[in-house]
Copies of this chain bind each other. A is one copy, B any other.
Amino acid sequence: MPSKTTLKDLANLAGVSVSTVSKALNDSPEIGARTRQRIKDIAESCNYVPNNIARSLKSRSTKTIGVIIPAILIEFFNKVLYGIEQEATERGYKIVICLSNESSRKEAESINTFINGSVDGVILSVAEETQKSKVYDHFEKSAKHNMPMVMFDRVLDDITCDKVTVDDFEGAFNAVKFLSDLGSKNILFLNPISNTSVGQHREDGYVKAVSGLNQEPNIVNVSHYTEIEKALSTVFNNQKIDAILAADEYSAALAQNAARLNNLKIPQDLSVIGFTNGMVAEYANPSLTVVSQHAENIGKIAAGILLDRIEGKLRAEPVNKVVKTKIVERNSTKNI
């Protein structure tokens, strides 16, 4: 605990009252120019820094927002976090982060950490366990406390609050269309996250698009990345497919590796598109064409909404922002 000089100390040194010092440092016009400067000099020489905790107590605002994400090592969340940080910093707010690690218990604990006045609002993406169990007590509690809250990506329909989501359905739909326009006629969907709402929306978009093209949906669900190589090799040996849409970037990279093992050239023999525009996609060989969710942007938008809400710039009804995806073209798809 840093030993701090306080207003009282300065008041003693200057031979004036605490309130005079406070006003002087805050450039109140009430204080004479000469006294003001004198006090400022003393403060300077003492390395005075006003105590933020005391200020927060007085002002009932912490200029801090809480962020709860399921994991920080997943690049998507990391990028969202980056976006949040940028927007927050720009608007003079700090961020404190908690990780739920996909657990409802940790998520609830984090909400409790935030509900006690230490932040002005919360941004979060719901933990997988919570989505499955459908136990939302902690969110109801925070809503009861009037805590400004925005959910992103993984949101809860049953909870009333501001939300920012990605149009995963359309993203997958457009990716199929993109592949089809390139001439692909047998497009496979590789899904390692079929048990999340997000994975499901992507599958739905794929099915819809492929049906529109009079192709049969061809879906490979895997529950682990390690299964991909074997699963795809089987496919390559028995069917002729000319494109793969993968539900995330890791599976897309692994699909490329599997293809190479089976002597398929990318993109000549096989086009590959993944979801999520991250490092792995960028540094893969060939570099991956992906459906970008604009992760960073999602973070900025979510933070923007939250801060607007905190600062009373929004009307009562919750805002519901849907972010469109975009295809980032690289070398894993033919360039025509």
Residues of A within 8 A of B (CB): 1-4, 47, 49-54, 56-57, 60-62, 64, 72-73, 75, 78-79, 81-82, 85, 89, 94-99, 112-113, 115-118, 120, 141, 144-147, 250, 253-254, 256-257, 260, 278-280, 283-285
Contacts and interface: CB of A to CB of B under 8 A. Distances in A.
B82 A115 contact: no
Contact of A2 (B56, B95, B146): B146
A57 to B, nearest CB: 5
B47 A4 contact: no
Contacts of A141: 47
Stoichiometry (number of copies): 2
B280 A50 contact: no
B85 A79 contact: no
13 contacts: A4-B145, A51-B57, A53-B53, A53-B56, A53-B117, A73-B78, A73-B82, A78-B78, A94-B98, A94-B113, A97-B97, A280-B280, A283-B284
B52 A283 contact: no
Nearest to A51: B117
B283 A115 contact: no
Nearest to A62: B53
Contact of A61 (B1, B56, B75, B283): B1
Nearest to A287: B257
A145 B49 contact: yes
A256 to B, nearest CB: 7
